[in-house]
Structure 1
Amino acid sequence: MPSFDKLGKQALRQTRMLKVMATSGVIRPYGPRKLLGIATTLQKRGIGFAGGMGALAVRSGDEIGLVDELGELTWREVDERATRLARGLHGVGVSEGDSVAVLCRNHRYFVDVSTALSKLGADILYLNTAFSAPQLGEVCAREKPVAIVFDDEFTELVDKSEVDLTRVVAWHDGEPDGSSTLVEDLIEGAGTDEVAVPGHTTRPVILTSGTTGTPKGAPRDEAGIDGAVALLSRMPLRTGGRTYIAAPLFHTWGWAHLNLAMLLGSTLVLRRKFDPAEALQTLREQECDAMVVIPVMMQRILKLPESERSGDWSFLKVVAASGSALPGDLATEWMDAFGENLYNTYGSTEVAWATIAQPQDMRDAPGTAGKPPYNTVVKIYDEDGNPVEQGDSGRIFVGNTMLFGGYTGDTDEKKDMVDGLMSSGDVGRFDDQGRLFVEGRDDEMIVSGGENVFPQEVEDCLSRHEAVSDVAAIGVDDDDYGTRLRAFVVTSGDVDEETLKGHVKENLARYKVPREIVFLDELPRNATGKILKKDLKDYDAEGNPGAGSGQDSGQDSGEDSGQDSDEARGDDEQAS
């Protein structure tokens, strides 16, 4: 029997959840008939995509639910398309309990497929649009999907991966060649009678970014109300708004806001590829009150001429950022340009979101990752698993109801646990106001001449120089000191190596000054804008690729977010 103390905590948690949901408008009065329809749909279909989209079709069927380059869809149309597609996918061999791989950008077909598979009770394997052919082949061999749905631009990639799966093409430009099964054809060729309610609950699998090897699969609950309430507890998102999700839907951050928009009934605004000027135009034209981004997108927007950025942005209430650390003064620069609308979330694929920094947090304490949201515990432990003193640095551990249950596939790899809390893979500290500061990866610290150095601190320092537009630092082998720091910078003005070293020396301890500073045209990034430090170890001190001999002791573990360099620029791909 639960103790009175436990029951009291549960009651307090439930009360806070109801308050958050009422404030955001999720809980509101409906007529008896509509309320019965919503309840019946959720009871039959659950609170995942099938139930969520079905409930939206009941409560707001004629309202615009999705806007992409192809036009608008109402919530009823979204739900009906998914029903038709579920029947169509079943007709090509997808059954309850099967897994289907999805290799799509941000558009209606991503939502169509996700909802259709939820109606079928099939699992969803979300693939990274920046995958190489070997990565795609390895992941599919491990996860064993029976079919793959992909945009036609990835046809060559799928061919090279040699995956032997049923193929269905989602987005296609121009006239199809006639040999492909198209999502749109499956939708048009099927009826709208609901499919039977499956016994198997759909399991979405989101992949880690794989910056140090083959991406691992991290299964999530199909929908987690606690996860939505956690975000809503520190972000002023409200029902009936318009959310432009620029971050990729295949990864945790974009996928989370797809689920959140479904709960709130917010219109989804999607664009296949990211371009900073077009992003601002989309925000204005669609009058979006929320935008979901990764830091590299913010950096690219801020590089636009002021004439393109100026104007009244008061309609934009929330810019939700995550995926990698906000470098240097990016947070304050953004808010100076666009207002107090920035909310930065720290977390990982495995632990979901651990802390959220609100605008005032970042004004008062630049560089902070914020405070834990609803139903989340964050603690700092030393290497022996003991709590550290207030203000001391240590390993970050997170506890919430969103922790993943283990990687998919045949692996025994696990995240470290202490007192029921899971390691985020980072090192950090709390200040006296309870705000978290993340100092770097726990496997990124280098010891140079007996002194501990975290590359992130040096990166932040260099990024604050007016001539530096992008920066990364890694550890490389050194005969005299064991390890030394090497920095890589992309500049936007005239500056030399000695000037930048002097800048670091003026702001940090002497032993934190990089031995070399290498100038590059761009830094390698993955599909969520995360810098691929494992690739930087191949550069020598002169910036020549493939000539490096240094060992990267500061590479990213790749487990906390998921585009190649073109994608990060947004020239050809969607940066996120």
Structure 2
Amino acid sequence: MNNRGRLRTQLWATGHLLRSRMIGPMRPDRYVGMTRVLRRYGPHATTGFALAANRRPDATGLVDDRGSLTWQQIQDRADALAVGLAQLSGGQPTSVAILCRNHRGFVDAFLAAGRLGVPGLLLNTGFSGPQLADVLEREQASLIVYDEEFAGLVADARERIPGLTGVLGWVDDEVATREQPTAEQLIAEQLIDAHRGERPPPSRPGRVVILTSGTTGTPKGATRSGGGPEELAAMLERIPWHAEETVVVAAPIFHAWGFGQLVIGATMACTIVLRRRFDPEATLALADQHRATGIALVPVMLERIMELPADVLDRYALDTVRFVTASGSRMRGEAVIAFMDRFGDKVYNSYNATEAGQISVASPADLRHAPDTAGRPVTGTTVKLVDDDGNEVPVGEVGRIVLRGASEFDGYTAGDSKDSLDGFMVSGDVGRMDAEGRLYVVGRDDDMIVSGGENVYPVEVERAIGELSEVREVVVVGVDDEKYGQRLAAYVVPAEPEAVDADRVRAHVKARLAGYKVPRDVVLLDELPRNASGKVVARDLPEPK
């Protein structure tokens, strides 16, 4: 980019930062302090928290099940915990793994790892015991901060990994446990109390390792360099965040999407409202109670909200909410429209990737036009759809999604990286683009099912079955078949018990799609197996009978 282009980009980014009130009237010493923060931390995930503490030290920064903390208290807790962790018997940890739900303990641990200059490894709260141990071993974690509910999993992992230290980041009965801790029990709150007012030696922040979803295989550890103000401005251009307001982050913050919303909220000096466990009505109540202007969630959460009885939904106005932003999986169109019909056109659907950050955003107007769209690429990101030979496909045709954005993917912790094509990252997804430039994600590249020589993408079959009012949820996968190589199997959750008939499902699909796209197997389930971020875990689906 030449100097003129760079200047244009900077002016564009500054304009959006001004409109969002990220840049605004402040005491001169605040700006001086923020400059020092940026010089010390650089574009790191912890930087936003330090900026917010400099900007609004006595304002409420975080609200969770245990109450509220100011931005300065959050910083002081991180300093104290970092000192405590560095003085444990095993010495300063080489990395800090975090197995926590949405609460202050997660934030304490993630910031403390940054203070110590060691990697912070964000762990999926839905891990099984073997998965947890595998990831901890692969990532060479030496310390894990965890919620009490995961004590059994952590104990098993510590038997397998000698020298792994465990620290409780959340205890269910905080007062009782802090008063009578068991022998060898390390509790983050005790370490914070013991070292309150102390600070660790200055250090450049360690990297944050975020795991891919791992719905079809072992999750990978990914690290990514931030794109700076331009990446933030690209998001602010599409989604109406304003600085110093309040946002409810319901999405799991160990996941790339929820973590990103946490970091953006801090960078904007917004009050961040967390709840340890998601509850659809409680999410609405928190938004109304705290006069939130934004809610960040994953699509299945929005669907669960719209499954609440009408008289429950009637209790909440969401009149201060300006945006509800979702990402992480495909949104059911009927749920999106139902939400907007009731609460207003406030839903923004983001297409993100752990390795690439934000790729595209669908505005409420986009979703009104096409509820299943992923929207248009954000400024600074170029998206192409290509065939197997790397040639761009015509508008409307399905192709592999490749992209180039403002931030850089640093690679997986195992040493490998994403495939690239002429400078574009291969996302692993396939999709199509309409004539207005809206992107539609059809599925994963490896989701395509070849049945009897015909190519089928499950999402179009899922969309057809989802039109049935008696169907609450559906996922379609390919299963091995001796005659056809693969055949389609539809896993359906009925809206009401015994409301779905398999023949009715097949007839409905046959009336809308080609015959080879009709699922031969229709399996009825009480619920679909999902991970903590709401994605369906295909390997946990039962074999069709």
Tell me if TM exceeds 0.5.
Answer: yes
Secondary structure of 1:86's counterpart equals: helix
Q: Deviations over 1:271-323 (max 9, x none)?
A: 11011122222222122111111111111111110111124222111111011
Contact preservation (8 Å) 1:318, 1:342: yes
Residue of structure 2 equivalent to 1:264: 268
Residue of structure 2 equivalent to 1:169: 168
For these two proteins, the number of residue pairs brought into alignment is 533
Structure 1 residue 402 displacement after superposition: 2.6
Paired with 2:263 and 2:90, the residues of 1 have a C-alpha distance of 23
Paired with 1:17 and 1:94, the residues of 2 have a C-alpha distance of 45
531, 538, 548: which one aligns with 2:536: 531
Paired with 1:369 and 1:112, the residues of 2 have a C-alpha distance of 34
Residue of structure 1 equivalent to 2:460: 457
Residue of structure 1 equivalent to 2:16: 20
Paired with 2:253 and 2:408, the residues of 1 have a C-alpha distance of 20
Structure 1 residue 255 displacement after superposition: 0.6
Answering whether residue 432 of structure 2 is matched by residue 429 of structure 1, we say yes
Residue of structure 1 equivalent to 2:451: 448
Secondary structure of 1:102's counterpart equals: strand
49, 63, 68: which one aligns with 1:67: 63
Residue of structure 1 equivalent to 2:282: 278
Matches of residues 477-516 of structure 1 in structure 2 within 5 Å? 477-493=480-496, 494-516=499-521
Structure 1 residue 265 displacement after superposition: 0.5
Distance 1:306 1:485, change over 3 A: same
Paired with 2:69 and 2:386, the residues of 1 have a C-alpha distance of 49
Q: Deviations over 1:115-168 (max 9, x none)?
A: 122122121011111111111111111111221111111111111223331211
Q: Which amino acid aligns with 2:482?
A: D
Distance 1:349 1:49, change over 3 A: closer
Answering whether residue 46 of structure 2 is matched by residue 41 of structure 1, we say no
Residue of structure 1 equivalent to 2:379: 374
Residue of structure 2 equivalent to 1:56: 52
Q: Deviations over 1:184-221 (max 9, x none)?
A: 111111142443221x4310000112223321100134
Range moving further from structure 2, 7-16 or 201-210: 7-16
Matches of residues 179-218 of structure 1 in structure 2 within 5 Å? 179=183, 180-198=185-203, 200-218=204-222
Residue of structure 2 equivalent to 1:322: 327
Distance 1:278 1:349, change over 3 A: same
Distance 1:19 1:94, change over 3 A: farther
Give me the CA root mean square deviation. Answer: 1.9
Distance 1:454 1:466, change over 3 A: same
389, 406, 415: which one aligns with 2:411: 406
Structure 1 residue 52 displacement after superposition: 2.9
Distance 1:387 1:8, change over 3 A: farther
Contact preservation (8 Å) 1:428, 1:436: yes
Answering whether residue 525 of structure 2 is matched by residue 520 of structure 1, we say yes
354, 357, 361: which one aligns with 2:359: 354
Contact preservation (8 Å) 1:446, 1:452: yes
Secondary structure of 1:507's counterpart equals: coil
Residue of structure 2 equivalent to 1:564: none
Paired with 1:41 and 1:329, the residues of 2 have a C-alpha distance of 45
Q: Structure 1 length as normaliser, TM-score? A: 0.89
Q: Deviations over 1:433-482 (max 9, x none)?
A: 11001112111111223322111111011112100001011112233333
123, 132, 136: which one aligns with 2:132: 136
Secondary structure of 2:170's counterpart equals: coil
Extract unaligned runs of 5+ from structure 1.
542-576
Range moving further from structure 2, 109-118 or 476-485: 476-485
Residue of structure 1 equivalent to 2:422: 419
Paired with 2:226 and 2:357, the residues of 1 have a C-alpha distance of 14
Paired with 1:224 and 1:124, the residues of 2 have a C-alpha distance of 20
Secondary structure of 2:267's counterpart equals: helix
Residue of structure 1 equivalent to 2:349: 344
Q: Percent identity?
A: 43
Paired with 2:231 and 2:92, the residues of 1 have a C-alpha distance of 26
Paired with 1:28 and 1:479, the residues of 2 have a C-alpha distance of 66
Secondary structure of 1:279's counterpart equals: helix
Q: Which amino acid aligns with 1:377?
A: T
Contact preservation (8 Å) 1:94, 1:147: no
Structure 1 residue 50 displacement after superposition: 4.7
